Chains A and B, each alone.
Chain A
Amino acid sequence: MAGASMSLRELARRDDASSMLLSFAQAALVTSGPWLMTVAAVAAVSRIGTGYVSPETMAVFRSILIYNFSMSLVLSGPVLLVATRFLADSRYSGTAGPGRGILVCAMALVMGLGALAAVPFYGLAGDMEPPVRVAAVANYFAVAGIWVGALFQIERREIRAMIGIFAVGLAAAVAGSLALSAPFGMAGLVWGFTAGLAIIKFALVAEVLRRHPERADGPAELLGRFRPYWNLAAAGVAAPVAVWGDKWVMWLSPEGSAFGGFMRQYPLYDSAMFLAFLTMVPTITLFSLFVKSDFLDRYRAFYRSIERHDTRSQIDRNHRLILRSLLESGRRLMVLQAVVSAGVAVLAPGIIELAGLHYAQIGMFRLGTLGAGFHVGFLCITVLLLYFDLRMQYLWLQILFAVSSIGLTAAILPYGFATYGLGYFLASALCFLVALGVLCRAVARLPYLTFVANNPSVR
């Protein structure tokens, strides 16, 4: 991502419209490409596959994917966040990359946790055929492995490689699932898609091994990082719960159904929300483009200024430049998101029809869109908090979002269909405002935080 930021910065500095569009497109690819491609692949399978399997089979297939994405994010989250921090620390300290070691340990942890969760989940519950259960477990491991493989930052040249890997893998997933669904039904559908995901996973792992040719020394070093970074590990659980919590509650609503005998879901709500999440893409892209390049310059200047033994006035000047960068970028992001959210909310009926969804989803889609507008702001703010190493604040905010998303969604559920999505919207709005307050307070006191409150040498 650092390498991507470098190239984005160079592009962003050029003053012509084409380079601006190019930089925006590249930023979109970097930040949202894999996720969008995955959604597109699932949609493609759903559309085309109805000719090969029954709608019920397709619904179970989607449920397996959704459950596996959901479970794997929650279980892998702690490992991914701690491993990311370990990689960043190693890069900063200039030590020889422990890449292979981290990869081995992270993969082992994620697979191990997955085995403890996915195997009993699919093995002991429901009335799926055994080949389908095995396929579902294999799918879980493929998805979880992709999170680990994608963890390692890929430099600019490898962004094309990463996009290429996802494109090839997902194309194989679509082709495989369609090809195998006819002869083998549900199992073939899942196995075919899993094969494509496995291609992505192993290709990403191979890419890591290629860039880290050293021996896999010290895999246990990662384990030792869980204690000092326990708050990151806890946030690794809270953050995905925050994203999925409202959906889990809605799966238990009266309108939810059980797929495969035990996997409850509410497809109307899920599809409306996932569509609403797409409205985050422009803001996430712009965040990546402006904040991570311009902000990164100011951020580095501030900390270097301290390390260089500068005077207080010089440090303060760099502090003010950070504030200015955040204010300017924040204003642009908010305006952009407001325009997108408002526009989509107004055009919701047409968008719902274009996406092939049910008109009854318009209300949830609108609330989801407005909620996503605040949610993306929350995401951007919490990323910035991690830049300032405010891990406890990051954890508490994720917990707040998780609790409020689940709590408000559950509290509003009895009020009926018309209010579905309101819980998520209110939780997003509340948490955005709280996060904004936390960020403002933190950045205003940045010198104090840096020297004292957040200084491990002082604690």
Chain B
Amino acid sequence: MNRLTMRSRLPFARRPAPTADGGMADVCLIIEGAYPYVPGGVSSWVHDLIKAHPDLSFHLVALVADRSGRALKYELPPNVRGLSHVHLQDMDRGSRRPRGMRRLFDGLREPLLNLQRGGGLADVARILEALKPWTGAVGRSALLDSPEAWKLLVEAYDRDTPEGSMLDFFWSWRALVGGLFAVLTAPLPRAAIYHTISTGYAGLLAARAKLETGRPTILTEHGIYTNERRIEIMMADWLFDGVERGVGLQRHNRDLRDLWIDTFVSHARACYEACDRIITLYGGNQDLQRRLGAPEERMRIIPNGIDYARFSALPRTGGERRPAVALIGRVVPIKDVKTYVQACALLCRRLPQVECFVLGPEDEDPAYAAECRKLAAGLGLGDNLRFAGRVKLDDWLPRLDAIALTSISEAQPLTILEAGAAGIPTVATDVGSCRELLLGRPDERPRLGPGGAVTPLASPEDTASELARLIADRDWRTRCSRAIQQRVALYYNKGVIDGIYGDLYRELRGRRMLEAA
């Protein structure tokens, strides 16, 4: 972790200026684990959203794990007037022993336990109500470390996972409930609209904002948070699976994985119930949202937009250069870079002249990045595969012939759109909206044709085969290139998308002002 703080020597580390009206921003953006500290598709989207609306003032709330110093990865636009943090695993201590702890926990018990088993907005409201008399007084000492908190933890353990590891339940509880309390006790910035970029803890903060202020609240979901967490939890080897299930078909006891997943589902439900608009990028996501209880009448699709003019103007280099493919993205497990590495090995065996690249930062998960490099070396890829780190896309897109995306989970990858605007087809796994982007939405008229190919998850053979086809078959590549470029121009042009959000902000503010009058 880069330990530079906001006041670092980085040229774009700028303290946001205060708002003109003394503290109330037009829009409070609530972001978890992304902008402005983690580069990526979602962060770029947030950055572009802010820049696209210079007439609006923004306050950012970044939900981070702890208080360690972080370097800004983006130069904050001048209309960002505030940046505050919620430290999910490092909330303030608060008073050591405030009065009335028993009464506080009597009020917290039921809604807190409900939130671990499919609760919703009503439980969040009850928790806020219970905390209200102790505003500013309670913190970690009372809510997590007190004997009353321990008693509640034990009660939750006995109810939910009596046959599981007490030690693992203890740490899981502290992580989940600690994050919840950090969100519900942190200072809430004043804003006319609260806009969260995910459910999870950010969504909880948005739900709290709705309950406490009554102001309009928007959710834009890129990937479905609960789905992504579900994948991570199922893959987690640190979750000790000690529950004995026996040979019975019926499961009697939950385990820690259930606890984690159900808690995040509750948080998502609370956010859906609170938000006035529930936006996502494509239709497939809406199915998941509906299943989690999102009200139909508030749901809407607003896809990602990219700067079509900029990317379509990039020149294509050709001639004597070697054919080149790249995976553009962070080197992290959810991008399944290892499948791509294996696909490159197969591709290079068929077409030895091909150059393969990984274009993306490696500092988010250095251990995983090291494993990918080791795999590449072990497969004998040598110079055929290069890890180039974080790059400027404008410099690289002109020299690429195809993009590969082997992610386990995606929403609407900007990579496919940006490369597509530059006329570069993509081979992507069938996750998120990749099928829609590459093959067109069911209602696309006229049908533009495929802009690449869609493969199953974790299938290096299919990925290699489709990349090889794009490289070797010039006609096929040309057809795909034209199709994806047209599709991006028609449906994913940023200028149009920005206008939609601007209208939405104005609509909700206007409605609020009417209500206030």
Contacts and interface: CB of A to CB of B under 8 A. Distances in A.
Pairing of A with B: yes
Task: Count chain B CB atoms within 10 A of each CB in A307, A309, A313 and give the residue with the most.
Answer: A309
A445 B147 contact: yes
A312 B157 CA distance: 8
Interface stretch (A60-68, A371-379, A450-458): A450-458
B167 interface: yes
A314 to B, nearest CB: 8
Interface stretch (B77-85, B158-166, B363-371): B158-166
A182 to B, nearest CB: 66
B166 A315 contact: yes
A221 interface: no
Given A311-B242, A312-B154, A312-B157, A306 B167 contact: yes
B150 A452 contact: yes
Contact of A309 (B149, B150, B167): B167
Interface string A420-459: 0000000000000000000000000100100111000010
Contacts of B150: 448, 451-452
Contacts of B461: none
A19 B145 CA distance: 48
Interface in B100-156: 144-145, 147, 149-150, 154
Contacts of B147: 445, 448
A129 interface: no
Contacts of A307: 167
A458 B168 CA distance: 14
Interface residues of B, number: 19
A447 to B, nearest CB: 8
Interface string B240-267: 1010000000000000000000000000
A310 B161 CA distance: 12
A448 B149 CA distance: 10
A313 B165 CA distance: 10
A306 B166 contact: yes
Contacts of B396: none
A311 B158 CA distance: 10
B145 A310 contact: no
The SS class assigned to the A binding surface is helix
B165 A458 contact: no
A309 B170 contact: no
Contacts, number: 36
B415 to A, nearest CB: 40
A448 B144 CA distance: 12
Interface in A315-358: 315
Interface string A296-316: 000000000011011111010
Given A445-B147, A448-B147, A448-B150, A309 B162 contact: no
B162 A311 contact: yes
Contacts of B166: 306, 309-312, 315
Contacts of A453: 145
B116 to A, nearest CB: 17
A315 to B, nearest CB: 6
Nearest to A312: B166
A312 B162 contact: yes
Nearest to B241: A309
A458 to B, nearest CB: 7
A452 B163 CA distance: 21
A443 to B, nearest CB: 15
Contacts of A312: 154, 157-158, 162, 166
Contacts of A451: 150, 170
Interface string B214-258: 000000000000000000000000001010000000000000000
Nearest to A315: B166
Contact of B162 (A313, A448, A452, A458): A313
A243 B157 CA distance: 46
Contacts of B167: 306-307, 309
A345 B162 CA distance: 55
A312 B145 CA distance: 18
Contact of A311 (B145, B164, B170): B164
A313 B158 CA distance: 9
Contacts of A315: 166
Contacts of B168: 309
Contacts of B144: 452
B172 to A, nearest CB: 12
A451 to B, nearest CB: 5
B159 to A, nearest CB: 12
A134 B313 CA distance: 94
B240 A311 contact: no
Contacts of B170: 451
Nearest to A448: B150
Nearest to A307: B167
A307 B166 CA distance: 10
B176 to A, nearest CB: 15
A457 to B, nearest CB: 9
Contacts of B158: 312
Contacts of B149: 452
Interface string B473-513: 00000000000000000000000000000000000000000
A378 B154 CA distance: 33
Contacts of B165: 309-311
Given A312-B154, A312-B157, A312-B158, A452 B164 contact: no
B242 A452 contact: no
A306 to B, nearest CB: 6
A315 B157 CA distance: 13
A312 B163 CA distance: 8
Contacts of B240: 309
Interface string A136-160: 0000000000000000000000000
Contacts of B154: 312
A448 B157 CA distance: 14
A278 to B, nearest CB: 43
A315 B170 CA distance: 13
B252 to A, nearest CB: 15
A378 B140 CA distance: 34
Contacts of A448: 147, 150
A306 B166 CA distance: 7
Contacts of B174: 458
Contacts of A458: 145, 174
A448 B146 CA distance: 9
A253 to B, nearest CB: 43
A314 B145 CA distance: 23
A372 B165 CA distance: 45
A438 to B, nearest CB: 16
A8 to B, nearest CB: 32
B259 to A, nearest CB: 15
A309 B240 CA distance: 8
23 contacts: A306-B166, A306-B167, A307-B167, A309-B166, A309-B167, A309-B168, A309-B242, A310-B166, A311-B162, A311-B164, A311-B165, A311-B166, A311-B242, A312-B158, A312-B162, A312-B166, A313-B162, A448-B147, A451-B150, A452-B145, A452-B149, A453-B145, A458-B174
Given A309-B168, A312-B157, 6 more contacts: A311-B163, A311-B242, A312-B166, A313-B162, A315-B166, A452-B145
Q: What are the 5 A-B residue pairs with the smallest beta carbon separation, nearest first?
A: A309-B165, A312-B166, A448-B150, A309-B240, A452-B145
Interface of A: 306-307, 309-313, 315, 445, 448, 451-453, 458
